[in-house]
Amino acid sequence: MSSVTVRVPAKVNVQLSVGPLREDGYHDLVNVFHAVSIFDEVVAKESESITVSVSGKWSDQVPVDDTNLAIRAARALAKHAGRTYGADLVIQKDIPVAGGMAGGSADAAGALVACNELWGLGLPFEDLMEIAGDLGSDVPFSLLGGTAVGTGRGERLSELPTGGTFHWVFAPANGGLSTASVYAECDRLRDASGAQVPWPQLDDTLMEALGTGDAYSLGAHLSNDLQAAALNLRPELAPTLDAGRQHGALGAIVSGSGPTCAFLAIDATHARDLALSLTTTGAAHTAVAAHGPVHGATLV
C-alpha cells in the first residue's frame, strides 16, 4: 500500500470543568467532548523519512518541523513498533488552528491510524489509544469520536450515548489562543478572586440532554470554566457570543480554550440561517454550520 487517507473530526466541549491546579502543573478535568463534522484529512505516503506538509485555509499557521503533532505521532508509533519507518504526511486543514477545536490533536490521531495502515502494523485500537494519551489530552478523543467524557487530564475516556443529532455553528476568530496561556489566565483569575475551586463534577442535566437529544436543554447547560479566561485575553469574543444569542442560538460558548465561538442551533436550517446572520452582520468574519456527533479518525 503506497498511500492511506484518514478523515478526522474537530471537537467542541459541551462541558469543560477545571479542577484546582495540581502539583504537576495540570488540572483534573471533567471534559465532555463532542465530535463535529468539520474534518481534516491526513494522507500518509511511502517515504524513507517522516515529513509533513500542510494545505488548506489554515496551512500557514501550522508548523512543519519536529514540533508538529502529526510527526510526533508517527514517530511514537514507529518507536512503539520497534522499527524505523518513514511516511510523507500530507494534511488538508479545515479545522481551525489554535482554535479550541483540537485541530493538532486530530492530525495526530489521523497520523496514527494512517501510519498503522500504511506500515501494515495491524495494532489494535487500544494500542493506538495508549500512544495517543502520551501525545496529548485531546488526541485519544480524536481517535474515538462520538461523544465522551474525559477525566484526569481529559485523556481517560468513557463513551456517552446521544439521542440524536445536534446542529452547530462555529465562528473561528482571527488568530489563535495558546491553550497553556488560557489555563494560566484561568489560574490567575481564580487566585485573584480568592474563591475555593471545587472538584469538577459531571452535569447530570447535560448528560440527560445528550441522551435524549434535547437541544434546548443542552443549550441551556453548556459550560466552560476556561471561557472567562479566554474572554479576558480576547475581549472581542464577547460581542460575537452575544450576537449568536440574539440571533436565536440555544447556547453560545467558547470552544475549549478558544478562541472559536460555538453556537447550538435548533436544526440544520436554523444553523445555516444563524451562520449567515453572523457573517452578514459582521459579528463573525466567517461561520461554519456543522453537526455531531460524528465518528473519530476513519480510513477513507
For the question of residue 11 being annotated catalytic, the response is yes
CA–CA distance, 71 with 84 (Å, rounded to integer)? 14
What nine digits make up the cell of 113?
491510524
Residue with cell 495526530: 108
- Decide if 183 contacts 27 (C-beta within 8 A): yes
Q: What 3 state SS string does 27-65 have?
A: EEEEEEEEEEEEEEEEEEEECCCEEEEEEECCHHHCCCC
Phi and psi (nearest 5°) for 256?
A: 55, -130
How far is CA 229 from each of CA 2, 60, 97, 208, 254, rounded to the nearest angstrom?
A: 45, 26, 19, 28, 10
Question: What is the rounded CA–CA span in Å between residue 182 and residue 177?
Answer: 7
- Cα torsion 160, 273, 266, 12 to 10°: value is 20
| 79 catalytic per annotation | no
Does 100 belong to an annotated binding site?
Answer: yes
The answer on whether 106 is annotated among ligand-binding residues is: yes
Is 104 labelled a binding residue?
A: yes
129 known ligand binder: no
Does the annotation flag 97 for ligand binding?
yes
Catalytic residue, chosen from 40, 94, 138, 214, is 138
On whether 103 is known to bind a ligand per the annotation, the reply is: yes
> Is 154 annotated as belonging to a binding site?
no
> 3-class SS at 187?
helix
The rounded distance, in Å, linking the Cα atoms of 102 and 39 is: 11
Four-residue CA torsion sign, 69, 72, 78, 79: negative
Q: Is 96 annotated as a binding residue?
A: yes
Contact, 144 vs 25, CB < 8 A? no
Give phi and psi for 227, each to the nearest 5. -65, -45
The answer to the question of whether 101 is labelled as a binding residue is yes
Angle formed by the axes of helices 69-81 and 103-118, nearest 10°: 40
- CA 70 → CA 155, 213, 283, distances in Å? 18, 34, 33
- List binding-site positions for ATP: 96-106
- List binding-site positions: 96-106
Catalytic residues: 11, 138
